[in-house]
Chains A and B, each alone.
Chain A
């Protein structure tokens, strides 16, 4: 793609740019395969004779091209190999002549050759067109780009050319640049595969984000951090950063432009390297295995999403003093030793879809208000006992854990929170009146219970007696069993 200034065709050897390589019969039609080559890049498009004809008609009317230029349609007889070979050559000559003949490169020809997909002038012109439509619809401040579009804008920006080629002012490149500068929400979706019929891999193109001068929300999906530049701007404006399917470590992004600073440095980084503005950082769906000291560069982050990564441990999160919400679902976390020593004043943690067997490490996360541990391997009520001292916990999700199979599961879990049982929303619903009254009875029983009572009854009997509140608490009612932290998961229905 790229490159030479196609508006001054005398500067390039057209015959090296344009070739018709072959033809083939598909669905009863003959297609000619045109290859366009600019430097190291090329692409192919296939066109029927009738499409040549349509192009030609437009060239005649719009650009006063000689009507004899196109080889005539062959009307009679069999389209044999020799004929088609000759036609292939004639059509190639036609295109070369056409190109040569024209002083300006018209959009119709560009489109015929798929320039709007692969060549910087026409990629940007195409964007301008899109933009016109957007503005007719009332405008917007968000937009999704592909790397080639950004590459084209950046290249085009640097060309010593007027900002518009066609007479249509709506397609003024300056207009596009202004639009891009003012965008608040930007998404860039890359790709590792070949672009269309070309040999261009979009993710290999340099990706300079400098043009997004006002972006507050930036989403990067499936890109290569090694091609990223212009991050100063991102640091200056972006508040919500989302990066997916791109990162193996956070440092490759956070220290991308930090020459000489390394991920493992625990030294103080210079002020300018901090991503001060970022409040929401969503790095879900990457392949992050460890968290490095450079995490502290996100010093103002309040909401951090690391779900769907490959974390086995949690490190350096203590540097995020403003962190309030942490999403760690779908990682490989099996234990959380003394989480409160690693993590500060966090209100909400999502640990769903991990491999947790114990909740011990959460026992002192006193700031927690909401905890999601669904889809883990928690099996005993004793594990939930670790949470009973969390004074602010109002939402707990334990669904899809073995523990939910325990008899009287909800009552036993709510009972862990004693007097606060009615403040805790369990698995999406608060305790019902019946559940809470059961819990209250259990508490009353517990209070009057002497330590020497031995219990052998199955806890499944509880429901039978629960209907009578304040039943003589001293008697060893069967309900007592519920009060015991289940020593093993023996009560779990398997």
Chain B
């Protein structure tokens, strides 16, 4: 389900920024489906539980800048909580997902939010997503209630459906726009290792195969 950039037709290295995202939330809320919908534009109806972490990328455009999103899809199962915590480090955006048909996943948001606030940097953009909006008949959390929660905590908010694809793009793109805005107004320091953003001059990578410079093999740990 992860979609590495390798092999994609449009030159995969042509981008100006890399933004790191992390997707968090209870198991089964649809995190992996959201990622898949965003990167592949498809819905996976029988998606297995994520073990540890999954990964996907997609290049988007914000204000004429090509931005490569590096998205870490974490496992919601409690037993992976320790592993997934390490992926908060250096995330520029955090998508915090609950399932609008299961109230318990909404009730757990405060604990996810605590982790997100503690383990990311203050500039990390946190976006609240109420997923499975297509199942409106089984709705267990109202839009208004969640919107209130988001406002109280300074989060951006949307309801999405990974199944129909509704608002999925918007959630990922709005997060990127917000991050880009933070870069523009200088509140996000690109040089800080933990910012979750890398700037790359376009046409970045080493010219194809002029690989003569013998990179020092001296590893940093002398073992």
Contacts and interface: CB of A to CB of B under 8 A. Distances in A.
Contacts of B4: 388-389, 391
Contact of A388 (B6, B12, B53, B210): B6
Contacts of B119: 321
B217 interface: yes
A325 interface: yes
A319 B82 CA distance: 6
Nearest to B8: A419
Given A308-B223, A325-B221, A422-B206, A366 B212 contact: no
Nearest to A394: B215
A432 B211 contact: yes
Interface stretch (B40-48, B84-92, B132-140, B177-185): B84-92
Contact of B7 (A305, A323, A419, A423): A419
Contact of A430 (B82, B85, B88, B211): B211
**Chain B contact patch, size range:** 35 or more
B206 A430 contact: yes
Interface string A315-336: 0001111110101011000000
Nearest to A304: B221
Contacts of A341: 51-52, 80, 83
B219 A350 contact: yes
Contacts of A431: 209, 211
A260 B221 CA distance: 35
A431 B208 CA distance: 9
Contacts of A323: 86
A147 to B, nearest CB: 26
Interface in A19-59: none
Contacts of A308: 223
Q: Is the interface of A mostly helix, strand, loop or mixed?
A: mixed
Contacts, number: 136
B57 interface: yes
Nearest to B5: A391
A420 B84 CA distance: 26
B55 interface: yes
Given A391-B5, A419-B7, A433-B208, A340 B52 contact: yes
B217 A428 contact: yes
B54 interface: yes
B223 A329 contact: yes
Interface bracket on A? 35 or more
B27 interface: no
Interface in B60-117: 70, 72, 80, 82-90
B201 interface: no
Contacts of B82: 318-319, 321, 344
A425 B215 contact: yes
A433 B207 CA distance: 9
Given A350-B223, A437-B208, 13 more contacts: A321-B85, A321-B88, A321-B119, A325-B220, A342-B52, A344-B53, A344-B82, A345-B90, A388-B4, A391-B5, A391-B70, A422-B208, A432-B212
Interface of B: 2, 4-8, 12-13, 51-55, 57, 70, 72, 80, 82-90, 119, 205-206, 208-215, 217, 219-221, 223
10 contacts: A329-B223, A341-B51, A364-B54, A366-B2, A422-B208, A430-B211, A433-B210, A436-B208, A436-B211, A437-B209
